[in-house]
A and B are shown apart, each in its own frame.
Chain A
Amino acid sequence: MSNSLEQYLNLYRDLSATVDQGSAPALNRLRGEAFDVLSGTRLPNRSDEGFEKTSIDDMFAPDFGLNISRINIPVDLAASFRCDVPNLSTLMGVVANDKFIPTDTLLRNLPEGVTVMSLTKAAIERPDEIAQAYGSVAPITNPGVALNTLFAQDGVYIRIGRGVRIDKPIQIVNIFSSATPLMAARRVLIVAEEDSQANILFCDHSRNDGSKYLSSQVVEIILHRGAAVQYFDIEESSADTSRYCQMFVDQHEASSFKSNSSTLLNGSTRNEFNVNINGQHCSTGLYGMAIASNKQHIDNSSNVVHCAPRSTSNQLFKYVLDDNASGAFEGNIEVTPNAPFTEAYQSNNNIIASTDARMYTKPQLLIYNDEVKCSHGATTGQLNAEALFYMQARGIPQAEARTMLMQAFMIDVINTVTLESLRDRLRHLVEKRFDNTLACPTCKGC
């Protein structure tokens, strides 16, 4: 079996000095260890448990370019935003390929106690702060994390100061734009200090239809005591974009974390959600929505580990798959012996709208103590034929009726978004997605 890592290891051997040069010591610090890890392993493929439907090895096998020498690739931001980016009043930053670019409004309007900046810049200006947090949640022994650590030269650093609560969402727009195939190692580090509160929105876009892109993204989130973070992630990339996004969350006492991840347009996507609940009275919500047609592939994998008593977690992932699309979901809840009085729920519901679409689901529960309330379940079915006929009998054409039913199916995931402006925007995006007008032809390429 081939090992796609070989090319990356060779590249690093040849150019490690250049990699370091384009970054900062606090980030360079971990590269040696990452290299050692990768030298003794391979990326997961379909023979590995948990990766039965998505081979990371295959995803990373093509020869993508990496912008190691930090060549400035011009990105026409205005063109990228013309239609798809939520019309919200946000504090916005942009990650062009793998380089963080703050907008003027972000720099002007950042409230006191809130940091949103380039990870490299932060690593130079506040080395101790970054050294302490960077790599502290995502285990470097994980091959995906190690590979990201090996090449991540920049990223996004968000820190919400103690007791600071910001109403305006922080929005980070990830944009791929390159004339040649490109891989970006994106890194995100979020620290929410005690009793802070923030809404953070990420959205992924790909420009230049036909260019092949691969994003390797590692997101580390630390929630200190009493912090509340809502994290939204909307992927509207392209059929030629592959994405491997690994999220690692460390929750301390009485913190609340909610993640809402929507895959609307993509090529092949693997999202991993790892949450460790390390304090009492935490609440965790992992919600996901996957809408796929043509040959889109969407794989979501969650792992919620309850390590402390009296916390609650809830997971809901829904898929609508049409044409030749394929979806996979593997959900895992682990309740350790140290976590009595846990409440943990997980649910995965899917609609297969065509005869060729495929869904694979694997809900799992591991419970190691008796004082818990847990449930998990999965359903996969077709659109309700009776409802379809009822709508047609009232004059609604079949295609429109199908769209309405698919959209209605997603409503409970959309409704988990408590921020009203975002919820409306998400509903609108889903509507456009089902109308096939999301990648709108008037501004091709955004």
Chain B
Amino acid sequence: MKDILLKVENLHASIGDKEILKGINLEVRRGEVHAIMGPNGSGKSTLSSVLAGNPAFTVTEGSATFHGLNLLDLAPENRSHEGLFLSFQYPIEIPGVSMVNFMRAAVNAKRKYFNEPAMSATDFLKMMRQKRAVVELDNKLASRSVNEGFSGGEKKRNEIFQMAVLEPQLSILDETDSGLDIDALRIVSSGVNKLKTEENATIVITHYQRLLDYIKPDFVHVLYKGRIVKTGGPELALELEEKGYDWIKEEIDNKF
């Protein structure tokens, strides 16, 4: 068996006074693809935000270990340097900051973190060109402001492009399929699959089984009321697609 890349134990997190994550346990090994499903408001996006270090949330209990490091102690930028990547459900528009400057800052910050010299302009542009091809991203988008005026599909492709550039060890895709038409879904998921190796891992957060036709999970978890209440193989996703979440809700609500 491969090494454990991420180990989350009894993770509790709140926003303001409201507790959203109520004891998450999750283990992800290198080479694995995990899907996290669950009804609206169950805490899926909160889990991804907390792992990426969004300061809007407070961790109140529990731990998260990322290839041996205490993840929760790291600033968001250092989590990124250490190989964690979050593909945002709603990528942020940043008017006035060009994609090129944004990516150059990101790439060189990572190199600095590992005591490597900044990348030359030529090498950087060459890399941008190569990585763009992964998600068929138009060259024109590179000179525009980050996500500004991008269509829903372009924004998601832009996320996967950034993932290709940063070469993370663990990618969390938060509802990457939302707002995508079928063609964009195919391009985005084929991009994700191209970036997949035996050494990295992926957590796919989604409402629908549809995305899992393209990105095949090894494990499917159901998140409900801030806890992982069920774990199974790919067949669990199919079962959810067919029967909905009500049977799980009933099962859990009756238990507590």
Contacts and interface: CB of A to CB of B under 8 A. Distances in A.
Contacts of A397: 75, 77, 109
Contacts of A384: 92, 94
A396 interface: yes
Nearest to A415: B96
30 contacts: A387-B92, A389-B55, A389-B56, A390-B88, A390-B91, A390-B94, A391-B106, A392-B80, A393-B53, A393-B79, A393-B80, A393-B88, A394-B106, A394-B162, A394-B166, A395-B106, A395-B110, A396-B102, A396-B105, A397-B77, A398-B75, A398-B77, A400-B105, A400-B109, A404-B97, A405-B94, A408-B94, A408-B95, A408-B145, A409-B96
B70 interface: no
A411 B109 contact: no
B80 A395 contact: yes
B143 interface: no
A390 B105 CA distance: 13
B88 A392 contact: no
Contacts of A45: none
A391 B102 contact: yes
Contact of A405 (B54, B81, B97, B162): B97
Contacts of A420: none
Contacts of B102: 391, 394, 396, 404
B92 A395 contact: no
A167 interface: no
A14 interface: no
Contact of B166 (A395, A405, A408, A409): A395
Contacts of A389: 53-56, 76
Given A408-B94, A408-B96, A393 B86 contact: yes
Interface centre among A391, A400, A405 (most CB of B within 10 A): A391
Interface of B: 52-56, 75-77, 79-81, 86, 88, 91-97, 101-102, 105-107, 109-110, 113, 145, 162, 166
A386 B75 CA distance: 15
A320 to B, nearest CB: 12
Given A387-B92, A405-B94, 5 more contacts: A386-B92, A389-B53, A393-B77, A397-B77, A405-B96
Nearest to B84: A393
A398 B55 CA distance: 12
Contacts of A394: 80, 102, 106, 162, 166
Nearest to A410: B96
B96 A393 contact: no
Pairs of residues from A and B, 8 with the lowest C-beta to C-beta distance, nearest first? A408-B96, A395-B80, A392-B76, A411-B96, A390-B92, A394-B106, A395-B106, A408-B97
B137 to A, nearest CB: 16
B127 to A, nearest CB: 15
A316 to B, nearest CB: 14
Contacts of A398: 75, 77
A380 interface: no
A404 B53 CA distance: 20
Contacts of A386: 92
Interface string A213-236: 000000000000000000000000
Contacts of B75: 392, 397-398
Given A387-B92, A396-B106, A404 B101 contact: yes
B168 to A, nearest CB: 10
B144 to A, nearest CB: 13
A410 B96 CA distance: 8
A387 B109 CA distance: 17
Contacts of B94: 384, 387, 390-391, 405, 408
A407 interface: yes
Contacts of A410: 96
A396 B86 CA distance: 14
A157 B82 CA distance: 61
Contacts of B92: 384, 386-387, 390
A389 B53 CA distance: 8
Interface in A383-438: 384-387, 389-398, 400, 404-405, 407-412
Contacts of B76: 389, 392-393
A407 B97 CA distance: 8
Nearest to B165: A394
A407 B166 contact: no
A395 B163 CA distance: 12
Contacts of A396: 77, 102, 105-106, 109
A394 B84 CA distance: 9
A394 B99 CA distance: 12
A384 B147 CA distance: 15
Nearest to B98: A408
A389 B107 CA distance: 16
Contact of A407 (B53, B54, B80, B96): B96
A377 B143 CA distance: 30
B124 to A, nearest CB: 14
A316 B52 CA distance: 38
A396 B92 CA distance: 15
A392 to B, nearest CB: 4
B109 A395 contact: yes
A268 B53 CA distance: 40
Contacts of A392: 53, 75-77, 80
Contacts of B86: 393
Contacts of A395: 77, 80-81, 106-107, 109-110, 113, 166
A211 B96 CA distance: 38
A189 B12 CA distance: 69
A66 B135 CA distance: 67
A348 B96 CA distance: 17
